[in-house]
Amino acid sequence: MRKIILDCDPGHDDAVAIMLAGLHEDIELLGITTVSGNSYLENTTRNALIISEMSGIDVEVYPGASKPILREQIVAHDIHGYSGLEGADLPNPKKAASNIHAVDFMSDVVKENFGEVTIVATGPLTNVALFALKYPDLVKGIKELVFMGGGIAFGNVTPVAEFNIYVDPEAADIVLRMDIPKVMAPLDMTHQAAITREEVQKLKDSESKVLNVVADLMNFFMKTYKNVFGIEGAPLHDPTTIAYLIDPEIFEWEDLNVSVELKGEFTYGQTVADIWKTTGKEPNVRVLEKINRDKFFDLLLDTLLKLS
User: Per residue of the chain (308 residues), what is the pLDDT tens digit?
Assistant: 999 999 999 999 999 999 999 999 999 999 999 999 999 999 999 999 999 999 999 999 999 999 999 999 999 999 999 999 999 999 999 999 999 999 999 999 999 999 999 999 999 999 999 999 999 999 999 999 999 999 999 999 999 999 999 999 999 999 999 999 999 999 999 999 999 999 999 999 998 999 999 999 999 999 999 999 999 999 999 999 999 999 999 999 999 999 999 999 999 999 999 999 999 999 999 999 999 999 999 999 999 998 87
- Total number of domains in the chain: 1
pLDDT of the residue at 209: 93
Range of the domain at 8: 2-307
> CA distances (Å), 255 to each of 143, 211, 273, 283, in order?
17, 36, 10, 6
Helix H or strand E encompassing 29? strand 27-34
pLDDT of the residue at 308: 72
Q: What is the CATH number of the domain that holds 189?
A: 3.90.245.10
As a whole number of angstroms, the distance between CA 90 and CA 152 comes to 36
Q: Are 144 and 183 in contact (CB under 8 A)?
A: yes
**pTM of the entire predicted model:** 0.97
CA angle 182, 187, 191 (to 5 degrees): 130
As a whole number of angstroms, the distance between CA 206 and CA 306 comes to 10
Task: Give catalytic residues, as residue numbers.
Answer: 237
